[in-house]
């Protein structure tokens, strides 16, 4: 029996799939898959029962496929679906592990930039002294700040890139601005990462977008698809070294995972980010039919 896929509904028309995922959902149906709708807004409000009100009972194993959900919200979704005879194919524990950096970092430490973190709540301002202590655990030089899930790379100079981790005032200023802009969406805490220089590709020459990232989709520890990163302005024709990355994916032990890989300036492949495949986006040129076949055939 083909797996069912739960898509976010259109906020303006809850009887249809959110436009962003519409083509993908049509490809799932074309391959014999079942599509059901959940209310993402209700889930974010903490009303998991309302979120799954349109999901038929007894669907069995299901994928969630949609916008990001906080780990606690995903756990609430799993409980609400369980009461309807549905079971998410990615457990809440697996989702948190792949979705949040502290969960996936230990398995990938050898193939990803050095990282440290500290739990923090939304709008919580960390003292300059505490940030300095945290930064000293990283190699000297530049770094970036993010939370457990996302950075603000589109505000690169203002709220992402730290030119010198030893500059306590500069470090505190960038982190403070990052926390301010994240507002209530700050996930888990503050992460500092060592900055690495990546090989240039294409004609783009800005610091934040110069690398060409490849997104690798892993199912049950095996690489199933290679696509450009969704934010990439160009398609990378480079194929990452899958053996080292695959070893880390298998150590992680999660069902459906994405890894974003880029070629460092010294010719070494590095993993930039890891994510749960259910909430990882596709590049606009990626084949939705190929991706739908991956979901339905599982």
Helix or strand or coil: residue 126? coil
* Contact assessment for residue 145 and residue 195, using Cβ atoms and an 8 Å cutoff: no
210-242: per-residue pLDDT in tens?
Answer: 467 899 999 999 999 999 888 876 666 678 889
In the prediction, which pLDDT does 209 show? 44
Q: What percent of the chain has pLDDT over 70?
A: 93
Of the candidates 223, 275, 251, the residue with the CA atom closest to the CA atom of residue 107: 251
Higher pLDDT, 297 or 24: 24
* Alpha carbon distance 164, 132 (integer Å): 11
Residues in CB range of 49: below 8 A, 6 or more apart: 80
* Contact assessment for residue 4 and residue 34, using Cβ atoms and an 8 Å cutoff: yes
* Alpha carbon distance 49, 80 (integer Å): 6
Per-chain mean pLDDT for the chain: 93
Q: From the CB of residue 102, how many other CB atoms can be counted at a distance below 10 Å?
A: 16
Helix or strand or coil: residue 153? helix
Distances (CA, A) of 270 to 42, 102, 110, 273: 37, 17, 9, 9
Give yes or no for residue 206 having a pLDDT over 80.
no
Buried b / exposed e along 252-262 (16+ C-beta atoms within 10 A): bebbbbbbbbb
Report phi then psi at 112, rounded to 5. Answer: -140, 155
* Alpha carbon distance 145, 117 (integer Å): 10
In the prediction, which pLDDT does 204 show? 39
In the prediction, which pLDDT does 227 show? 93
* Contact assessment for residue 150 and residue 156, using Cβ atoms and an 8 Å cutoff: no
In the prediction, which pLDDT does 220 show? 96
Give yes or no for residue 99 having a pLDDT over 80.
yes
* Contact assessment for residue 177 and residue 189, using Cβ atoms and an 8 Å cutoff: no
Q: Where are the beta strands (DSSP E) in the chain?
A: 4-10, 13-17, 34-38, 60-65, 86-88, 115-119, 143-146, 161-162, 189-194, 214-219, 222-228, 256-263, 269-276
Report phi then psi at 188, rounded to 5. Answer: 80, -50
In the prediction, which pLDDT does 94 show? 98
139-192: per-residue pLDDT in tens?
Answer: 999 999 999 999 999 999 999 999 999 999 999 999 999 999 999 999 999 999
* Alpha carbon distance 192, 197 (integer Å): 16
pTM score, whole prediction: 0.93
Report phi then psi at 297, rounded to 5. Answer: -80, -5
Backbone torsion region of residue 263, taken as left when φ is above 0, otherwise alpha when ψ lies between -120 and 50, otherwise beta: beta
């Amino acid at each position: 029996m083909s797996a069912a896929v739960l898509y976010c509904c259109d906020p303006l028309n809850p009887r249809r799939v959110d436009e962003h995922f519409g083509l993908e959902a049509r490809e799932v149906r074309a391959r014999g898959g079942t599509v059901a709708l959940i209310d993402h807004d209700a889930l974010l409000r903490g009303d998991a029962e309302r979120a799954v009100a349109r999901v038929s009972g007894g669907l069995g194993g299901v994928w969630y496929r949609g916008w990001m959900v906080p780990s606690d919200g995903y756990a609430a979704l799993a409980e609400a679906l369980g009461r309807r005879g549905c079971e998410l194919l990615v457990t809440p524990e697996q989702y948190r592990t792949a979705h949040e950096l502290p969960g996936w970092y230990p398995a990938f430490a050898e193939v990803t930039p050095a990282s440290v973190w500290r739990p923090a709540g939304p709008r919580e301002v960390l003292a300059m002294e505490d940030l300095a202590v945290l930064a000293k655990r990283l190699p000297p030089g530049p770094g970036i700040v993010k939370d457990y899930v996302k950075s603000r790379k589109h505000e690169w100079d203002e709220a992402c890139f730290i030119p010198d981790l030893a500059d306590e005032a500069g470090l505190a200023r960038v982190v403070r601005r990052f926390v301010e802009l994240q507002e209530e969406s700050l996930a888990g805490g503050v992460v500092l990462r060592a900055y690495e220089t990546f090989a240039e590709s294409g004609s783009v020459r800005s610091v934040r977008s110069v690398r060409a990232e490849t997104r690798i989709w892993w199912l049950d520890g095996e690489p199933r698809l290679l696509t450009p990163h969704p934010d990439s302005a160009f398609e990378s024709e480079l194929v990452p070294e899958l053996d080292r990355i695959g070893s880390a994916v298998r150590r992680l032990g999660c069902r459906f995972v994405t890894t974003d890989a880029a070629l460092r300036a010294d010719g070494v492949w590095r993993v930039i980010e890891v994510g749960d495949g259910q909430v990882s986006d596709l590049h606009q040129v990626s084949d939705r039919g190929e991706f739908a076949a991956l979901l339905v055939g599982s």
